[in-house]
Chains A and B, each alone.
Chain A
Amino acid sequence: MDSTTFVALLSSVLFTIGVLGVLLRRSALLIFMSVELMLNAANLAFVAFAHRWVQLDGQIFVFFVMAVAAAEVAVGLALIVTIFRTKRSTNVDDLAALKG
Chain B
Amino acid sequence: MTPDLPILIVLGAVSIASALGLLLSRNAIYAALFLVLNFGVGAVIYLVLNAPFIAVVQVSVYAGAIMVLFLFVIMLLGAERLSPGENPPGISFQRPLAIALGGVLLGLALYALFVRQPPTTATALADSSPTAIGLSLFGPYLFPFEVVSILLLVAMVGAVVLTRNR
**Size bin of chain A's contact surface:** 35 or more
User: Which B residues lie within 8 Å of A23 (CB)?
Assistant: 94, 98, 102
Instruction: Tally B residues with Cβ within 8 Å of A.
Output: 87
User: Which parts of B135-166 form the interface with A (CB within 8 Å)?
Assistant: 136-137, 141, 144-145, 148-149, 151-152, 154-156, 158-160, 162-163
A57 touches B136 (CB 8 A): yes
User: Which A residues lie within 8 Å of B58 (CB)?
Assistant: 43, 66
Q: A33-B70, A47-B54 are in contact. Are A17 and B16 (CB under 8 A)?
A: yes
| Main DSSP-derived SS at the B contact region | helix
User: Which parts of A1-53 form the interface with B (CB within 8 Å)?
Assistant: 1-10, 12-21, 23-27, 29-30, 32-34, 36-37, 40, 43-44, 47-48, 50-53
A13 touches B61 (CB 8 A): no
**Contact residues of B with A, CB < 8 Å?**
1-2, 4-5, 8-9, 12, 15-16, 19-20, 22-23, 28, 31-32, 35, 38-39, 42, 45-46, 48-51, 53-54, 57-58, 61-62, 65-66, 69-70, 73-74, 76-77, 79, 82-83, 85, 87-88, 94-95, 98-99, 101-103, 105-106, 109-110, 113-114, 118, 120-122, 124-128, 132-133, 136-137, 141, 144-145, 148-149, 151-152, 154-156, 158-160, 162-163
Q: A17-B22, A20-B98 are in contact. List 13 more A-B contacts (CB 8 A).
A: A3-B121, A6-B9, A7-B45, A10-B45, A16-B106, A23-B102, A29-B74, A37-B22, A44-B42, A51-B49, A51-B121, A71-B156, A75-B158
**Contact residues of A with B, CB < 8 Å?**
1-10, 12-21, 23-27, 29-30, 32-34, 36-37, 40, 43-44, 47-48, 50-57, 59-60, 62-64, 66-75, 77-82, 84, 89-91, 93, 96
